Amino acid sequence: MSQRRVLITGASGQLGQALQDLALPGWAMEPLSSADLDVRDWPAVRSRFESLSPDLVIHTAAATNVDRCEREPEWAFEVNALGTRHVAQGSALVDAQLVYISTNYVFNGGKSGPYHEFDQPNPISVYGASKLAGEVEALNATSKCHVVRTASVYAEHGNNFVRTMRGLMDRLDRITVVDDQDSNPTYATDLAVAVAEIAARAPFGVYHATNEGTASWHEWAVEIADRIGATTEVAPISASEFQRDAEPPANGTLVSLPLARLGITLPPWRDGLKRCLERWPE
């Protein structure tokens, strides 16, 4: 079986590492962290793509600190929009297939039910706007493009909600967590499997890939506490009581119309959380 040369940007991030951990037999992976390649530098991107000549590019590199994006919008757009332009143009240059990882933040959160792939994006934050601009750049640069939107990604490593909650529960008797914002807690390992399947057999276009089911931040935190046996009181508060620079969508839940028809599904979010916590490093 011939090997596919797979270039992964943002390789040190949660999804980047999960993709490498899959160790797919048909993939010869070239993982590039931000230290290896600054996607904002077009000459560097072009040179690296020409030298590696990948068959598939999975673009996970992004400015994901949503509050910093709000404070530093130029930085957000340089990384998430301009950087994606460069990666997409590099992919087109070597005729590589591109998978661009996007976010539920492209929606404003006002819909009563989950957002599907054909709902109209309307971001309310700089982060969401910059990631939506990246979608436009990717789809305009190459016809061989998958856009994969996801939500609330976490893993055993990196900065994420599960790690934050575990740290707080280790130290505090009582914490407060927002209970009127919903999303799909998504385990990076499950997302990596879905991304690989989408890249292998889905028609080019936009897809939503998250673990099945929805939860508020509070519901998610309570589940974490229950599973690790924490005695910390997890008290609910409204988003208006938790001030931050960026405003997440109140309804950040996603659903996919096409993936189930392709036989690509992700497990329920509680199952993903259970497996993540079982693999948690001591």
195: nearest Cα among 15, 1, 13, 14: 15
Question: What's the CA gap between 58 and 191, in Å, rounded?
Answer: 13
Site of tokens 């904002």: 40
Under DSSP, the state recorded for 251 is B
Question: What's the CA gap between 250 and 260, in Å, rounded?
Answer: 26
Question: What's the CA gap between 221 and 216, in Å, rounded?
Answer: 9
Name the residue type at position 231.
Answer: T
Among 105, 115, 127, 187, the one annotated catalytic? 127
Torsion from C-alpha of 85, 78, 68, 163, nearest 10 degrees: 40
The set of residues, in sequence order, having a beta carbon less than 8 Å from that of 226 and lying 6+ positions away, is none
154 in active site: no
DSSP letters spanning 110-155: --SS-B-TTSPP---SHHHHHHHHHHHHHHHH-SSEEEEEE-SEE-
Question: What's the CA gap between 132 and 189, in Å, rounded?
Answer: 24
Q: Which residues are catalytic?
A: 127
